[in-house]
Amino acid sequence: MQKRQKETLEIIRRELPSPPYGFNKKIDYMVQMRDGIKLATHVYLPEGEGPWPTILMRNPYPHMNYFFGGILELFSSNGYAGVLQNCRGTSDSEGDWEPYLHERNDGIDMLEWLRSQEFVNGKIGLYGHSYGAFVHLIIANQLPLEVKTLVLSQFGSDRHRSVYMNGMFRHDIYTAWGIQNSGFDISGQGDIYQQAINTRPHINMDLELFGEKMNWYRDWLTNVSRVSAPWSDGIWAEMKNIPSQINRPVFLIGGWHDHHLDGMDQIYRNLPNETKEKSKFVVGPWAHSLAPIGDLEYPNNNILGTSTIKGILNWFEYQLKGVDVRESVGTVNTYVIRDNKWHTWKQWPPETEKFRFYLQKSEDCAYNGGILSQHPLNKGQIISYRYDPENPLPTNGGSALLAWMNPDFKAPQPGSVLQEKPGLRDDVVTFISNIMQEDMMISGNIKVHLAVSTDVEDTAFTVRIDELFESGESYNIADGITSLSYRNQAISKKAYSPNEVVEIEIELWAITWCVKKGSRIRLDISSSNFPAYHLHSNFEGSWAEQAETRVATQNIHVGNTVSYVDLPISN
């Protein structure tokens, strides 16, 4: 891994301007927190006389120390003091590693130490990716005056919304992250991810694989409702409100194929207007690695440089040194997939027109389903399929994926990928539109509204929107899921009676995507997307404590005005 990191650092170095200073030295400290625990802290100083504008990173991942240290050396060569601190209980830092628990106090204490150091010139920037963004976000409403700006890459502020979508647990992301950050040695256990996602009842996964409980993970599994602990109090309740309290310029970096896409989007939307006017948000066709992934090509995507470091350095030059690098603030800049261009928005989400497709059954289809029409039939129709949790629809692309970053896990790849042709599975219902007569730019959140019923007390429904090319190939645009118990973003469990017809709306994550003239829109409806989301057993109750499954008969009620797709279209 270090060899690959070294190669990446060399690419980044070549993309940056010739450094005016050069890297001088690294100094190691053990910085004491309020409870006496000392955290390993590494300071990278440039050549010449200080003090310097300072960039702080905090990192829990030992395998990333070499890479992040290399980034701070590059910043140092450009006239910054770079500071890398290892989070509590990781690398050479003292204490016990308990994810998320101590980061607010430790982050505040670290800034108190940093602002008094002689090498700091009174201007501090905070930078972090993923968990490294969380450690700054969690203190972003209590920053000393010396902190002038934050760069937050691919994390979210609403943890419940990140972990669950309408009552369905994001299995791939948080089970993979959980076992990798459990504190147990998983090296050489290449199939441990597969064992973990397939353990039922899932609540016993930790005991079966490690012989000990992961209490924080169990809390996530057993608290599905937004109003239950741990989401309604403590750290996660506090963090949800922090974006609305940020009063420093923020550079947000997101990816259309990253599992924190929705979280980054929510952070930006919740910033105060006066903060938005000084900030920027860039979303590229990237996965969590900050690089493109999937089966499509993305020309011109690399505007921020490899790992986005060139763009981050420009931001710090502007915010900490006042250098005129022509930074555009008060904007959202997104890559438009299929148009292969960047678009700058003064308002996000943008003003759009609603383009509505109604679902209609067609007997002429060679598959179970029908057509997407701009006009309803005003005639009730029912399309049925059987959902068997023992034979789930496998995940094929999308944004809600993380395990792929560990090759040993043999997990599904994220991104826009080639989809199977309609009709290959009886438990997938497909609807396809007529040919598009002109390009159509989707800008924002697609919403799928369905009238459904089932013969069990609880179940799940999934949707996926594709672009069906003239060639006959389909590629996924966005997807979503809901249980009936937590339908329509319910904050707590809703009752459902078998065979009752209810309306559900699934809001998909935001996207900017140009559907090309000659293509069609395709909608697939099913009841599983595994392992991106947990398998619904078709029983009501706590999903993680269930061992049994049963088959459910699912009904989609179409042909009238209650089942439709709304596409947000911009000029």
Q: Quote the CA–CA distance of 155 and 77 in Å, as a whole number.
A: 28
Residues of the chain with pLDDT under 70: 188, 190
How far is Cα 241 from Cα 13, in angstroms, rounded to an integer? 37
List the beta bridge partners of residue 252.
152, 281
What per-residue confidence (pLDDT) applies to 324?
Answer: 86
407 CB-near residues (< 8 Å, 6+ apart): none
DSSP state of 530: B
d(CA 388, CA 94): 48
Give CA–CA dist 436/564, Å, rounded.
Answer: 18
78: buried, middle or exposed (CB in 10 Å: 19+, 13-18, 0-12)? buried
C-alpha–C-alpha distance, residues 475 and 483, integer Å: 25
Give the burial class of 415: count Cβ atoms within 10 A of its Cβ; 0-12 exposed, 13-18 middle, 19 or more buried. Answer: buried
Asked whether 414 and 540 are in contact (CB, 8 A), the reply is: no
Rounded Cα gap, residues 112 and 102, in angstroms: 16
What is the Cβ-side half-sphere exposure of residue 247, based on CA atoms within 13 angstroms? 7
Cα gap 44→480, rounded to integer Å: 44
Which pair of tokens denotes residue 42? 């590494």
Name the 3-class secondary structure at 15: helix
Cβ neighbours around 313 below 10 Å, total: 24
User: Rounded distance, CA 295 to CA 419, Å?
Assistant: 10
Q: Residue 570 and residue 280: Cα distance in Å, rounded?
A: 21
β-pairing, 474-483 vs 460-468, is antiparallel
Q: Are 304 and 311 in contact (CB under 8 A)?
A: yes
Please tell me whether residue 495 adopts helix, strand or coil conformation.
coil
Alpha carbon distances (Å) from 90 to 59, 61, 83, 94, 137: 8, 7, 16, 8, 20
Instruction: Give the amino acid at 17.
Output: P
What pLDDT, on the 0 to 100 scale, is given for residue 186?
80
Type of residue at 169: F
Distance (Å, rounded) from C-alpha 68 to C-alpha 289?
14
**Two tokens at 257?**
């194929």
Task: Note if the bond before 60 is cis, omega within 30 degrees.
Answer: no
Res 181: pLDDT: 86
284: nearest Cα among 218, 349, 337, 347? 337
- Between CA 42 and CA 57 the distance in angstroms is 10
What residues contact 137, with CB distance under 8 A and at least 6 apart?
150, 152, 155, 157, 239, 242, 243, 267
Query: What is the number of alpha carbons within 13 Å of residue 520 lying toward its C-beta?
Result: 18
CA distance 486 to 458: 10
Q: Output the pLDDT for position 369.
A: 95
| Phi, psi for 329 (deg, rounded to 5) | -110, 165
